[in-house]
Amino acid sequence: MGVVIESSVWEPNPFLSVFLFLCCCFSILLFPYASNSNRPSTVFDHGISSSFLRFQRNFIFLFSLASVLDGLWSALGEFELASNGIGREQMVMSLCYGYAAAAFAAPFLGVLSDLIGHKKVCLIFFVLHFFVGIWKRISEHPSIFVTGICLSLANTVFLFSFETWMVTQHEKEGHRLDSLNDTFWLTTFFESACFIAAQILANWLIGYNAERSTVFSSTTNIFLALICMAFLSRGWTEISPRASFKDYSMSFYAYIIGDKRIWLLAWAQSCLHFSVGIFWILWAPIVVADGREVCLGLIYPCLLGSRMLGSTAFPWLISRASSLRIEECLVYAYIMLGIVLSIVAYDYQEIGVLLTLFCLFHAGVGLILPSLARLRTMYVPNELRGGMMGFSLAPANAAILLSLVQGGYYKNVGNAALMAIGMFGLITAAGCMHALKQCGKQPYQNWHKQ
């Protein structure tokens, strides 16, 4: 007599996404009533100037479109490669080429953005996506290595240039300094929401016609890139930098290389970028370990929803109702993220517990991202911000590249060991934040509490 074992596909509770959405709404709407600040967050400040609102909305709109472009490849990339007959080793090698290019190009692109203007470098982001879209349309079998390198370079620009342009132009237009706080967390919030929208769009393209999804996605990339380039050319303004390379180099050495506080902040940024990069590479293999069938498409929005919720905690953190300095809060946040990754590295057999840990991880990331952006404004001169962020991305990309080569290609390092390395980096980042707090306030921008 044969025994039939029924297999089922594990799915998260459908109310989890609704719960995260409601928590985000309550966190945003209740903040003005719970804060003791005499001047609440500018999202709720009706006395704010119309010029700043126009500036902020234009930036959020363009950044949201850029997030959709960046998220489409994350959602559709593996499906497109697999449908074209690309094997696992080739996918890993494509990622290696991409991270290698990003590791070498990040410092150069950061310095270039400070010298020629961030608007021009943001334009490179859309040109790269436009080129990849055209490449996939005219070529029957586009090179995955050229595609991977172009999209990695575009992602590198995405990670620093939009924020740097916004902060620099915000200062030059004379807007209130504390109004930057809202733009920081709104950027993280809308970025996560647009990644979810990109996944929905990718699922619709696959469901509409799986065989032609590559054609449809490339057409979508071309269309969005053209819209963004037109809006960038007409809707964005920028005062071009006037510093020469010699003056810039002297300032960079004095304010960035010669200040240990910047080194501490850069290392904390680099460790976060590395741990998040390793997470997105390993989360799916970890979840489906031991042959488990899991609906990954339903887990992805839960993770990003958690990051949205974490970003809404940022205005609570910086309000006068909070007695903690940002550096002190980041110490606890980094430690929490390190503990979460240590648990995942030690044992990741139960999917429900795993999803809970992943959501906690991304909630912490959602809080840390705008907090680091605020610290950069406090410690880093705006004229050097792009170079500082570019140099902080380089070691993280190099570490991810080494992890891919050793773990994904040669298979000398297991997933648990890579997660443990990410955990160690986060713990050292917590130490950097503690040391940064002990160093005292930076005279350049002294606004821990406003």
Residues 58-71: pLDDT tens digits? 999 999 999 999 99
CA angle 181, 186, 191 (to 5 degrees): 135
pLDDT, tens digit (0-9, with 9 covering 90-100), for 228-281: 999 888 767 776 777 788 889 999 999 899 899 999 999 999 999 999 999 999
pLDDT, tens digit (0-9, with 9 covering 90-100), for 90-144: 888 889 999 999 999 999 999 999 999 898 999 999 999 999 989 888 876 777 8
pLDDT, tens digit (0-9, with 9 covering 90-100), for 172-226: 888 888 888 889 999 999 999 999 999 998 888 777 665 666 777 888 899 999 9
CA angle 332, 448, 431 (to 5 degrees): 30
Q: Is the pTM of this model over 0.85?
A: yes
Q: What percent of the chain has a predicted confidence (pLDDT) above 70?
A: 89
pLDDT band at 10 (very low <50, low <70, confident <90, very high): confident
| Residue 43 tokens, joined | 């999202």
* Mean predicted lDDT score pLDDT of the chain: 85
3-state helix, strand, coil in the chain (%, to 5): 80, 0, 20
Q: What percent of the chain has a predicted confidence (pLDDT) above 90?
A: 50
pLDDT band at 3 (very low <50, low <70, confident <90, very high): very low
pLDDT computed for residue 209 by the predictor = 64
pLDDT, tens digit (0-9, with 9 covering 90-100), for 277-319: 999 999 988 888 877 788 888 899 999 999 999 999 998 888 7
In terms of DSSP H, where are the helices of 84-179?
88-116, 118-138, 144-172
Q: Residue 294: phi, psi to the nearest 5?
A: -135, 140
Q: Between these two residues, 270 and 84, which has the higher pLDDT value?
A: 270
pLDDT computed for residue 40 by the predictor = 46
pLDDT computed for residue 86 by the predictor = 78
Distance CA 88, CA 96 (A): 12
Q: Which CATH architecture has domain 55-439?
A: Up-down Bundle (1.20)
pLDDT computed for residue 316 by the predictor = 87
Distance CA 332, CA 311 (A): 16
Q: Are 98 and 151 in contact (CB under 8 A)?
A: yes
Tell whether the model's pLDDT for residue 441 goes beyond 90. Answer: no
pLDDT band at 46 (very low <50, low <70, confident <90, very high): very low
Of 149-158, 195-204, 404-413, 419-428, the least confident: 404-413
Q: Are 125 and 176 in contact (CB under 8 A)?
A: no
pLDDT computed for residue 205 by the predictor = 79
Domains of the chain, by residue range, sit at: 55-439
Tell whether the model's pLDDT for residue 80 goes beyond 90. Answer: no
pLDDT, tens digit (0-9, with 9 covering 90-100), for 329-380: 999 999 999 999 999 888 766 888 899 999 999 999 999 999 999 999 999 9
In terms of DSSP H, where are the helices of 313-384?
314-318, 326-346, 351-379
pLDDT computed for residue 162 by the predictor = 94
Q: Are 375 and 317 in contact (CB under 8 A)?
A: no
Q: Between these two residues, 422 and 448, which has the higher pLDDT value?
A: 422
pLDDT band at 446 (very low <50, low <70, confident <90, very high): very low
Distance CA 262, CA 436 (A): 9
pLDDT band at 9 (very low <50, low <70, confident <90, very high): confident
| Residue 7 tokens, joined | 């297999």
Taking the CB of residue 251, how many other CB atoms lie within 10 A of it? 16
pLDDT computed for residue 408 by the predictor = 76
